[in-house]
Each structure stands twice: as C-alpha cells, then as structure tokens.
Amino acid sequence: MENEVLEFRKIHDRCSELQRWISVNAPKCLIEEKHRIEGSQERGYWAHGYLTALLDVQRLFARGISAPGFGDEDSTRKAA
C-alpha cells in the first residue's frame, strides 16, 4: 500500500510542477485555450498529452494500484 501512495504522490507532484512550468513559460495558454480549436496543431498536442496521461493511469490500474481517499491527508497516512 505504501508503494501505491508513493506512486500517486509522484503524480500529484508532477501536476504541481507542470502547473508552475505553465504559469512561467506559457501563461497565455491558460487564456487563449488554442487547444480547444478544432483542427489546430495545439489541439493535436493536447490530445497527445491527454492520451499519454490516460495510458499512464491505465498502466497504474493494471498493476493493481488504487488510492481510495487520495488527497485526504488522514486517509493517506492511514494507508501508508
């Protein structure tokens, strides 16, 4: 169970890193949302990134990893 919590903590930390990176390096993407424009190159990159994320999560579940209550510090501590 401890490994499962660590895996989800890695995902959480990576999300935080990406949010910081976007705010520094590509803040306009939060306003412009070009990935929402059908047929745009940005939409293709967004779809590729989303697919990659889904495949990563699918692999985690295939390994039997789940995190009930993830994000709830009390239940995370109990699981560890």
In angstroms, the CA 72 to CA 75 distance is 6
Write down the pTM of the prediction: 0.58
Condensed to tens digits (0 to 9), the pLDDT of residues 11-40 reads: 889 899 999 999 999 999 889 999 999 999
Query: Which of the four pLDDT bands, split at 50, 70 and 90, describes residue 80?
Result: very low
In angstroms, the CA 4 to CA 26 distance is 32
Q: What's the pLDDT at 66?
A: 59
In angstroms, the CA 74 to CA 11 distance is 19
Query: Which of the four pLDDT bands, split at 50, 70 and 90, describes residue 79?
Result: very low
Q: 42 lies in which domain range?
A: 2-79
Would you say residue 55 has pLDDT above 80?
A: yes
The closest of 40, 22, 39 to 31, measured between CA atoms, is 22
> What's the number of domains the chain is made of?
1
The angle at the Cα of 73, spanning 72 to 75, to the nearest 5 degrees, equals: 70
Query: Which of the four pLDDT bands, split at 50, 70 and 90, describes residue 69?
Result: low
Residue identified by tokens 């949302």 is: 33
Which residues lie below 8 Å from residue 72, measured CB to CB, with a gap of 6+?
A: none
